[in-house]
Amino acid sequence: MILTVELEGRRWLCDVGFGEGITDPFPLEAGWKEEQDSGVFRLQVEDEWYLERKEEETWQSLYKFTLEERKIEDFLEMCEYHQTSPSSIFVQKSFCSLQLPCARLTYMGHRLISTKYIKGGGKVNTTQELTEEEIPGLLRDKFGIVLSGKLIPKDEDIVIPSQHQSTFSSKPDLNTYLQRVGITEFSASSMQPSLSKLRILHRHHVLSVPFENLSIHSGEKIIPNISWIYDKIVLRKRGGFCYENNGLFLWVLQELGYQPRVLSGRVKDEVTGVYGPQFDHLILTAEVDGRRWLCDVGFGDGIIEPVPLEAGWEEKQDTGVYRLRVEGDEWFMQKKEDKVWSSLYKFTLAERTYEDFREMCEYHQTKPNSFFAKKTFCSQLLPTGRLTYMGHRLISSKYTEEGGSVKTTQELTEEEIPDLLRDKFGIVLSGKLIPKDE
């Protein structure tokens, strides 16, 4: 994004948002050349305008532009792209750069780069290596910056987007989905709505598709679009969080005639006891023979089969003992842990649309106070337990008859994690994973 201003009938190019660009406004005139504190610049025009900078005796283009006027709202999508895509320098490198008189100071990754500009064009760089412990003090002392969250230093190569990141053209196919979740005894044409078939669908999905948020920590933007989710979960054999898993299951139930409805849940924080905001969790209901059933294939340690949407319902499943409790117009999904009932989430029966969850899907990918932004995880339900990767740990859980679980933990090095994800969960990421457990 660039600016121009008009002063006394003359247009001036203004750009205070480019790392190594002009320090003073620049006349918007073809062929203009000028030396400033940050180097020698010129404007060239060949259908498009080019801002160029002189390096030694060579002119290099910094960027090109046209004179078509835009609005700041036009940049929202690319602002989001540069926060999330592995093909963006802003995702792959952590940096802070400040212009000084005839010089520049730049922090990048684990380096401090001091630049001195040479008259006539060119520069001399000196580099100092930094430890991770030195970086917060350096940012404070050299740049006056104190961050509220933990910085993850990065200085990585730019990742060229894969086909799956840049486009999705596969038409969702029910038979391919059934194969993905391990249902081989039925075809889509034989899956007429029934409670037994709904149980099979629900159970096979949670036993086949991981609950995971690895996209958020490997530079892949999660798009709440059924074709994109189908491509990711079914064709690439990945998993997802509730907006993805339950989003895909919504499409399956619609295609098979279960008249699904979308409900909004609010997840309870295990530490603070506070429930999340509206649209924090996406839940589904399906109708069979005039009876409504709660379906949720997108909650980490939840039900393995649909449950009747009836107050006071209580049932032991493979994953634990669950019940539904109602207070006023709020329903509470609860799980029994060592004879104590704990709420997993609460919800109302107000019907929603899938599009209602777009803002919260974005929130959970980008906000530092989101559980999904603070922790990298991948969790797969097993017939008698659960296998969970989180941060630098592998957690094996075995469910007990009383409704609890017994856990064992294995510490992991960063180098072991990609092989573990491939061998234990069948997941190969296209971008580099940044493990987090904060």
pLDDT confidence of residue 403: 65
Domain 3-65: state its class. mainly beta
pLDDT confidence of residue 44: 94
Residues 6+ apart with CB under 8 A from 408: 395, 396
Task: Read off the DSSP letter of residue 268.
Answer: B
Q: Is 135 helix (H, G, I), strand (E, B) or coil?
A: helix
Torsion of CA 30, 36, 38, 42, to 10 degrees: 10
pLDDT confidence of residue 9: 93
pLDDT confidence of residue 242: 97
CA angle at 348 for the pair 346 and 354, rounded to the nearest 5°: 100
Domain residue extents for the chain: 3-65, 83-143, 163-362
For every one of its 438 residues, what pLDDT tens digit does the chain have, with 9 covering 90 and above? 999 999 999 999 999 999 899 999 999 999 999 999 999 999 999 889 999 999 888 899 999 999 999 999 999 888 887 887 777 889 889 999 999 999 999 999 999 999 999 888 889 999 999 999 999 999 999 999 999 988 999 988 765 544 444 444 458 999 999 999 999 988 998 999 999 999 999 999 999 999 999 999 998 989 999 989 999 999 999 999 999 999 999 999 999 999 999 999 999 998 889 999 999 999 999 999 899 999 999 998 899 999 999 999 999 998 889 999 999 999 999 999 878 999 999 999 999 999 999 999 999 998 888 999 999 999 999 988 999 999 999 999 998 877 677 999 999 999 999 999 999 999 999 888 999 998
Count of beta carbons in the 10 Å neighbourhood of residue 183: 20
CB 364 within 8 A of CB 373: yes
Q: Is 424 helix (H, G, I), strand (E, B) or coil?
A: helix
Q: Is the pTM of this model over 0.75?
A: no
Count of beta carbons in the 10 Å neighbourhood of residue 401: 7
pLDDT confidence of residue 26: 95
Domain 163-362 bears CATH identifier 2.70.98.40: no
